[in-house]
Structure 1
Amino acid sequence: MTKPTTIDEYVEAFPPPAQRQLSAIRELCRAAAPTAGEQLKWRHPAYVHTDGVILFMFSGHAKHASLAFTPSTRAAFADDLTGFHTGKGTVALPYGTAVPVDLVRRMLEYRVLEYEVHGVKWM
């Protein structure tokens, strides 16, 4: 597989179930940060504030998509994430299951405000 140079190429490199999940996540990211730039960072789609700070990222894996926020964003939603595999600042969303749209939207919006209001930078 060749290294993707765009987010479209990144998503298209996955099988259809993963593409659907990644596309849904991408739409939520775009809606939460409409002025953020879409860039590939460390080979993964990232949403970068107009002043250059990464807001959040997503990535595809063999069995799940992953959303990456700051650890403080993930921690703020700990009670809502009890049924998910999480990492320091990540949430795994298994393929074949519906994206929890309301939860993801709230997390994305929280992260934007966390940066814009409180100045919390990327990890």
Structure 2
Amino acid sequence: MADTVDGYLAGFDGEVRSRLETMRELVLATAPDAVESMAYGMPAYKLDKKPLVYFAGFDKHVGFYATPNGHEAFAEEFARYKQGKGSVQLPHTEPLPIDLVRRVVEFRVAAVRGS
């Protein structure tokens, strides 16, 4: 199991790695104060020492985790994707929903900072 995000990303190649790198860049660009680490075996981002978002790579999708409230706030837009408790699967057969991910991260930043 990788202990850094760079190490985690190195475990992937091709399109999956590219999608994961896009997720990383998107999170860091949207929340530049976020602290990047590994948690639960996946890239994790905290803001003000509170969980912001996580993501993970799988054979057929990117898992995106915006708990505790990011999924409820975007339930209508996430409805078209397969979901689990606190997770959404962004399939590799479709373009990454960059604008949606950005808005979710912005929402989580506001939630963490109480604005």
Paired positions, count: 115
- Between the aligned partners of 1:15 and 1:32, the Cα distance in structure 2 is 24
Residue in 2 that maps onto 1:5: 3
- TM normalised by structure 2 equals 0.91
**2:110 paired with 1:107:** no
Q: Which runs of structure 2 are paired with 1:19-58 in the superposition (5 Å)?
A: 19-49=17-47, 51-58=48-55
Q: By how many angstroms is 1:97 displaced?
A: 2.3
- Partner-residue secondary structure (3-state), 2:36: strand
Among 95, 102, 109, which residue is 2:92 paired with?
95
Contact 1:17/1:96, CA 8 A, preserved across alignment: no
Q: By how many angstroms is 1:56 displaced?
A: 0.8
Structure with more of its chain in strand, by fraction: 2
Give percent identity, aligned residues only: 37
User: Which aligned segments of 4 or more residues in structure 1 are displaced greater than 4 angstroms?
Assistant: none
Alignment gaps of 5+ in structure 2: none
Residue in 2 that maps onto 1:121: none
Residue type of the partner of 2:7? E
Q: By how many angstroms is 1:96 displaced?
A: 3.9
Residue in 2 that maps onto 1:81: 78
